[in-house]
Amino acid sequence: MAIVALYDAETKIIPGMSSNYLKQLTSHEACFHNDSRSRLDTIFANCYDMLARELRTMLPSTSLSILHQVPEGHVGVYWRGGALLKTITDPGFHLKLPLVTQFEPVQVTLQTDQVRDIPCGTKGGVMINFEKIEVVNRLRKEFVYETLLNYGVQYDNTWIYDKIHHEINQFCSSHSLQEVYIDVFDQIDEKMKEALQGDCTRYAPGIEIINVRVTKPAIPESIRRNFEQMEEERTKVLIAIERQRVVEKEAETKKKMAISEAEKNANVSKILMEQKLTEKDSSRRQAEIENQMYTAREKSLADADFYKVMREAEANKLKLTPQFLELKFIEAIADNTKIFFGDKVPNMVLDQRLLGNFLQVSKEVSKEVNSESGSGEDNPEVNMLPEIP
């Protein structure tokens, strides 16, 4: 019994299947198709056993091969008799019916579609050309069957290549060359992404637009030179403005530095003035203390002198007795070297100057004594002073 391997597009790999069982399986499968396809499926099932024996030795690289490979990042989709089958296979080796089932790998990872040479006219009538626009997109695995059923394997032609031409022309027709080339050029990427994703979400939800990258459009040479001159002049103006800002910043910095220096000097002067005032106040307090000490010391000395004088005066008052005065008189006469003797001792002649001084002192002392102790009559000892003419 011949043993073959069969891949049924609506089932899985069935190894080790006999020819008789294959016929039964094919007959059983035919019951599930509509009436228009049942006769064709029966003919294919009857012929399969012979074709399998003839083609099982063919290389896998041919279109008639039984074994085929689904690369990583792709899924396998199948057509039988031109009808898309719902079976989706994962990466790896699989079997199919040669000449009956067609296979096509479909990428479900990120892919970049490059749309080149997109001409468009601006609102002012200037024709420009976008040399390249890159659209990063992905077909989600769960929507592969629906997307291919509605738009075919080349679904990106409908929703990316053709759509990007339309959206670019719509954008250019509503903007001037200045806006497209300079002012809103940085917004084209996002606008294209939103436009593509909006229609894909509505009509082909399996297509996911990840990013859109737009290159600078090519403009006529004369206009390009004008833009370059304008950009050069704008650059000069910006340089002048920046230079003016730098000068203003430098002046402002110098002003702030001067103000800071003045404030610092003022603070230093204030501190020095406060220091001097503190020193003056300390000196004043020190002088006041010294004056108080000097006043107290002088007062103490004056009080001591006053006490000394008062005590001496009191002592002198006690000394002013007739006996003490007589003693002083005798001592004064004893110190004189000029003494003249007459006929009588009481009539001796003294030096006129000494005698005058003595008499004057004697009278003053007598007056003081008389004023303190009464009249001279009561004190006969005072009248005992000799009378000298």
Task: Choose between 379 and 277: higher pLDDT.
Answer: 277
Q: Which long-range contacts (CB under 8 A, 24 or more apart) does 131-134 make?
A: 131/215, 131/217, 131/218, 132/215, 133/164, 133/168, 133/192, 133/212, 133/213, 133/214, 133/215, 134/212, 134/213
This prediction's pTM: 0.47
State the pLDDT at residue 43: 65
Q: Which residues of 181-203 are buried (b: 16+ CB within 10 A; e: fewer)?
A: beeeeeebeebbbebbbebbeee
Instruction: Please state, in angstroms and rounded to a whole number, the distance separating the CA atoms of residues 21 and 17.
Output: 7
Nearest alpha carbon to residue 81 among 30, 13, 156: 30
CATH superfamily of 111-219: Band 7 domain (3.30.479.30)
Q: How confident is the model at residue 48 (pLDDT cuts 50, 70, 90)?
A: low
Task: Choose between 323 and 21: higher pLDDT.
Answer: 323
Count how many Cα atoms sit within 13 Å of the Cα of residue 385 in the half-sphere of its side chain.
25
State the pLDDT at residue 45: 56
State the pLDDT at residue 361: 57
55-78 confidence digits (pLDDT tens): 444 434 335 778 899 999 999 999
Computed over every residue of the chain, the mean pLDDT equals 77
Instruction: Please state, in angstroms and rounded to a whole number, the distance separating the CA atoms of residues 110 and 107.
Output: 8
113-159 confidence digits (pLDDT tens): 999 999 999 998 889 999 999 999 999 999 999 999 999 999 999 99
312-362 confidence digits (pLDDT tens): 888 877 777 777 777 777 877 777 665 555 555 454 444 444 555 555 656
Lookup result for tokens 């899924």: 75
State the pLDDT at residue 316: 79
201-260 confidence digits (pLDDT tens): 999 999 999 999 999 999 888 888 888 888 889 889 999 999 999 999 999 999 999 998
Q: Is the distance from CB of 54 to CB of 72 less than 8 angstroms?
A: no
**Mean per-residue pLDDT for 274-297?**
90
State the pLDDT at residue 308: 87
H/E stretch holding 69: strand 67-70
Q: How confident is the model at residue 89 (pLDDT cuts 50, 70, 90)?
A: very high
Instruction: Say what percent of the chain tops pLDDT 70.
Output: 70
Q: How confident is the model at residue 173 (pLDDT cuts 50, 70, 90)?
A: very high
State the pLDDT at residue 138: 95
In the chain, where are the structural domains located? 3-104, 111-219, 229-316, 320-384
State the pLDDT at residue 366: 60
State the pLDDT at residue 8: 41
